[in-house]
Amino acid sequence: MPTLEVEREDLEELLGVRLPDDPERLDEILSFIKGEVKRMSGNEIQIDIKDSNRADLLGVEGVARALRGILGIEKGLKRYEVMGESGVVIYVDNRLRDIRPYIACAAVRGVRLSDAAIRHIMRFQDKLDQTYGRGRRRTSIGLYDFNLITPPLHYTVSRPEETKFVPLGFSEELTLAEILKRHPKGVEYGHIVKPFNVWPIFIDSMGKVLSFPPIINSNDLGRVTIETKNVLVEVTGTSLKAVLHTLTNVVLALADRGGA
């Protein structure tokens, strides 16, 4: 049963109304989405979600989206404005066919990201990776500052010692092989790529590395901050259906943060 850690003020901002202080009353509301309060303390609320088939409810944005209808704040399905094709081309290397063949991306513009919003988006990303993404084997997610990227993009492969970049949270360049040995995410998820002779990388037209899917993003391009307004969302995986479903959920979360 997934447990969400929610900051009350952020959830209330997404809803546009104040939540009840009484845990039993909040439980009553959450029961409509098969959720219940696990713990309330100050600004922190822990919510257990009992419906494992609702990937959207793994994030506070999806919870708020569902509750707006239940609380009568909105009627009917919310309509989202889609600006159309971004014009960004992604070239996919045929050698990924037996490794991690699918990639889908979306550009979300005009996002308003507070520190709380970034924390919640990162938590949502991690929950999707661990549950629906089956520990990143089926799907994994990357978020990037779109303004720093130069299209077209290339989803390709590299030998373990061939490519170097600075992984997220580090200050020095490492090869892909070194990342698997030295970076916490490389140690945790390296088993996904180790069976193969070449590994996935995602780069832009200038040769700058965006990420090493499904392991870690670049520290330069793969970090979003409160200054980030335009976000590139990337999902790679082994199931096209799962990749597209994951992309939709992340894009909707960013749209609820003002993106279009």
| Amino acid letter, 139 | T
Q: Are residues 51 and 95 in the same domain?
A: no
Sheet containing 44-49: which strands, arranged edge to edge? 3-7, 44-49, 35-41
pLDDT score of 82: 74
Q: Are residues 220 and 153 in the same domain?
A: yes
Asked if residue 129 belongs to a domain, the reply is: yes
One domain for residues 152 and 66: no
Ranges of beta strands (E only) in 65-190 are 90-92, 102-108, 139-145, 153-158, 164-165, 174-175
- Classify residue 79: in a domain, yes or no: no
Q: Is the domain of 115 the same as that of 207?
A: yes
Tens digit of each residue's pLDDT (9 = 90 or more) over 182-233: 999 999 999 999 999 999 999 999 999 999 999 999 999 999 999 999 999 9
Residue 78, pLDDT > 80, answer no
Task: Classify each residue of 120-149 as buried b or exposed e, where b means 16 or more C-beta atoms within 10 Å of its C-beta.
Answer: bbebbbebbbeebbeebbbbbbbbbbbebb
Q: Report yes or no on 111 lying in a domain.
A: yes
- Residue 80 banded pLDDT, cuts 50, 70, 90: confident
138 and 227 share one domain: yes
Q: Quick check: is 85 in a domain?
A: no
Which CATH number covers residue 158? 3.50.40.10
Question: CATH number of the domain that 19 lies in?
Answer: 3.30.56.10
Distance CA(33)–CA(36), nearest Å, equals 9
Q: Are residues 218 and 141 in the same domain?
A: yes
Question: Residues 150-194: pLDDT tens digits?
Answer: 999 999 999 999 999 999 999 999 999 999 999 999 999 999 999
- Residue 121 phi, psi (nearest 5): -65, -40
Claim to verify: residue 131 and residue 211 sit in the same structural domain: yes
> What span, in angstroms and rounded, lies between the C-alpha atoms of 55 and 251?
13
Cα 149 from chain centroid (whole Å): 18
Residue 169: give the domain boundaries: 90-255
Q: Please check whether residue 140 lies inside any domain of the structure.
A: yes
Taking Cα atoms as reference points, which of 232, 200, 207 lies closest to residue 92?
A: 200
Mean pLDDT of 116-139: 96
One domain, residues 15 and 136: no
The pTM score is 0.92
Angle 240-255/60-70 helices, nearest 10 degrees? 70
46-60, 107-121, 193-207, 217-231: lowest mean pLDDT where? Answer: 46-60
Quick one: 165 and 242 in the same domain? yes
Please give the pLDDT value at position 23.
86
Query: Which has the higher per-residue pLDDT, 71 or 63?
Result: 63
Residue 260 lies in a domain: no
**pLDDT for the residue 81:** 73
**Given this model, what pLDDT does residue 67 score?**
92
**Is residue 118, in this structure, part of any structural domain at all?**
yes
* Assigned domain for 84 exists: no
The answer to whether residue 2 scores a pLDDT higher than 90 is no
For residue 87, pLDDT over 90 is answered with no
Q: Is the pLDDT of residue 79 over 90?
A: no
In the chain, the number of structural domains is 2
